[in-house]
Amino acid sequence: MHLQFQREREREMENGKCNGGTAARSPVIKFTKLFINGNFCDAVSGKTFETVDPRNEEVIAMIAEGDKEDVDLAVKAARFAFDHGPWPRMTGSERARLMHRFADLIDQNIEELAFLDAVDAGKLFETGKIMDIPAVSGRLRYYAGAADKIHGEVLKMTRPSLFGYTLKEPIGVVGIITPWNFPSIIFAMKVVPALAAGCTMVVKPAEQTPLSALFYAHLANQAGIPDGVINVVTGFGPTVGAAISSHMDIDKVSFTGSTEVGRKIMQAAAASNLKDVSLELGGKSPLLIFDDADIDKAVDLALLGNFYNKGEVCVASSRVFVQEGVYNSLVKKLVEKAKDWTVGDTFDPTARQGPQVGRRQFEKILSYIDQGKREGATLLCGGNAIGDKGYYIEPTIFVDVTEDMKIYQDEIFGPVMSLMKFKTVEEGIEMANNTRYGLAAGIVSKNIDLVNRVSRSIRAGAIWVNCYYGFDVDCPFGGYKMSGVGQDSGLEALHSYLHVKSVVTPLHNSPWL
C-alpha cells in the first residue's frame, strides 16, 4: 500500500500536480553562502558541498563549506559586535522592537521557509506552515516580551555595613550548533533567547539542512539586527563544529544533537577556555500505558510519539510499555492504525510521514531494523524501505523486545517502535528507567494518584500525561542523565545566556572591614 502510494506521488510530482502544483512553483534557492558580519560570502577555501532533497535524492544547491578560518572570521565579527556594537548596549525594549520586526518578516515568508525545510529535511510542508515556522515567530515575540525584564535583585546582606545587589549581563559570544530534524524550531530555541539576552553568536546549522538558517539570517538583517550579531557558518561537524567548540573567544556553546557529539563538545569546551555549555542530547523515551487507559487515545499517542516527523525526534516514545490487562487489545488496534499511516511526498497534504533526512540516516534505521530481527524481536508490521527513489521507510513495530537488544537501548531516530508488556506499576517504572537517557516520558492513565506517583518516579526532564509532545515556549525543556545539561525554552533558557554579577559597597560611614 505504501509503495503504491509513493509511486502515485512521484507521478504527480513529475506532472507538477502535487498539492496544487507546489512542485511547479517552488521558489528559487536564494542563499547558499556563509553569512558573516551582515554579508553573504564565499568560504575562505572556496569549497562547496551538496545539500540533497531526500524525496528524490537530487541535489538542491551547492552550499559554501566553511572551515576553521571562516569560524575565526565569524567569531571576530561577533566579538566586535559584542564588545563595541550596539546590541548588548541597547535597552531591552529596543532589542524587543527589532525582534518583533524579525518575527513579522518570518510571518511574511512562512511558505518559503516551510518549503526550504520540506526539501532540505523531508519535513511535511503543511506542518511547517501551520506549526514549525509560526513557532519561530512566536518564540521571537515571547522572548521580546522578556527582553526588557532582565534584572537582578537587591540582597539582604548578613553584614549590616554592606549594601549588595546583582546584575544580569549577557554572557558574550555564543556558539550555536543545531541538528537537522527541526531546522527552524531548534534554530529559534537557541538563537532567540540569546538575542533577547543581548548576546552575539555564530551559528552552525546541520550540514544536511543549511537552507532555512541562511534565510533566517537574511531576515534578521532586513529587520535591522546589527551586523555581527547573527553569523551563520555552514559546514561539517569535525571542522566548523570543532572550531566553534574549542574557540577561545566564544563564551558559551549551545548544542542539540547526539550524546556522542555532546561529549566531544564538552571536552573541547573544557580544554579551551572552560566555556559554559548547554547540551540537549539523545533520548530513548518511554510511553507507559496502564490498564485503566483510554485505549483509542493510547493508540493515537503511541503512533504520534513514534512516527511524527518520521521518528526523527529526540523525545520520540520509541519504547512503549503496556500493562498486561490491555496489551492484546492495544496491540491489535495499534497495528491496524499503523498500516494506515500514510507515507508520501512532503508536499502532499494527505501524507503523515515524509522521507528520512538523508541516505546515512536511512541506512542506519534499516540496519537497526535488521538488527532487531537478528536479535530475536518479532516484527509486527513495516520494516521495509518504500520505492526505489527517496529515503522512505514504513512505520515499523516490534514486539518480544528485551532489554539487552540494541533496538531497546539505542536511539534509532526513525519510525521504529518497540512494544513491551509489564505487570505491576513498580515493574513499569523500573523498565522505563532502564536507559542511559532521560529526556522525556509519557503516561496514559485516568488515575491521578497513579499519575502523580509515576511522574515523580521516572527520571526524565519532561513528563507528558495523557498527551505527547507537550512542548510550549514557556515550559523549560532539558534532560536527565546522558540526555544533556541545561534548559531550552522558558525563562530558564534566557537565564542561561546571562551572567550574574554581584556588586557590593559599604554603606556611608559604616565600618565595613
Is pLDDT above 50 for 23?
no
9 assigned to some structural domain: no
132 assigned to some structural domain: yes
44-92 tens-digit pLDDT: 999 999 999 999 999 999 999 999 999 999 999 999 999 999 999 999 9
Is pLDDT above 70 for 106?
yes
Q: What is the pLDDT of residue 26?
A: 63
Q: What is the pLDDT of residue 9?
A: 46
Same domain for 45 and 121?
Answer: yes
Q: What percent of the chain has pLDDT over 90?
A: 93
Same domain for 149 and 187?
Answer: yes
- pLDDT, mean of residues 235-246: 98
CATH of the domain at 241: 3.40.605.10
- The number of beta carbons lying within 10 Å of the beta carbon of residue 17 is 14
509 assigned to some structural domain: no
Q: What is the pLDDT of residue 109?
A: 97
Q: What is the pLDDT of residue 513?
A: 57
6 assigned to some structural domain: no
90 assigned to some structural domain: yes
Q: Sorting pLDDT into bands at 50, 70 and 90, what band is 24?
A: very low
Is pLDDT above 60 for 25?
no
Q: What is the pLDDT of residue 20?
A: 37
Is pLDDT above 80 for 27?
no
Same domain for 277 and 357?
Answer: no
Q: Which of 12, 314, 394, 411 is catalytic?
A: 314
Same domain for 418 and 465?
Answer: yes
Give the integer Cα–Cα distance in Å for 316 and 201.
Answer: 30
Q: Which of 280, 312, 394, 411 is catalytic?
A: 280
CATH of the domain at 332: 3.40.309.10
Q: What is the pLDDT of residue 16?
A: 43
Is pLDDT above 90 for 510?
no
Which residue type, as a one-letter code, is found at position 359? R
Residue 41 annotated among the catalytic residues of the structure: no
C-alpha distance from residue 283 to each of 25, 318, 411 (Å): 38, 9, 6
Residue 314 annotated among the catalytic residues of the structure: yes
- pLDDT, mean of residues 484-495: 95
Same domain for 261 and 321?
Answer: no
* Helix pair 110-121, 92-108: axis angle to 10 deg: 70
Same domain for 168 and 57?
Answer: yes
368-385 tens-digit pLDDT: 999 999 999 999 999 999
372 assigned to some structural domain: yes
4-18 tens-digit pLDDT: 334 444 444 444 444
481 assigned to some structural domain: no
14 assigned to some structural domain: no
- The number of beta carbons lying within 10 Å of the beta carbon of residue 93 is 11
Mean pLDDT, the chain, rounded, equals 94
425-478 tens-digit pLDDT: 999 999 999 999 999 999 999 999 999 999 999 999 999 999 999 999 999 999
- pLDDT, mean of residues 21-32: 68
Number of domains in the chain: 2
Enclosing domain of residue 187: 23-281+486-498
323: nearest Cα among 296, 288, 348, 367: 288
Same domain for 81 and 94?
Answer: yes
Same domain for 227 and 311?
Answer: no
Same domain for 207 and 232?
Answer: yes
290-348 tens-digit pLDDT: 999 999 999 999 999 999 999 999 999 999 999 999 999 999 999 999 999 999 999 99
Alpha carbons within 13 angstroms on the beta-carbon side of residue 237 total: 17
Same domain for 145 and 202?
Answer: yes
Same domain for 321 and 296?
Answer: yes
Same domain for 266 and 354?
Answer: no
186-224 core/surface letters (b: 16 or more CB in 10 A; e: else): bbbbbbbbbbbbbbbbbbbbbbbbbbbbbbbbbbbbebe
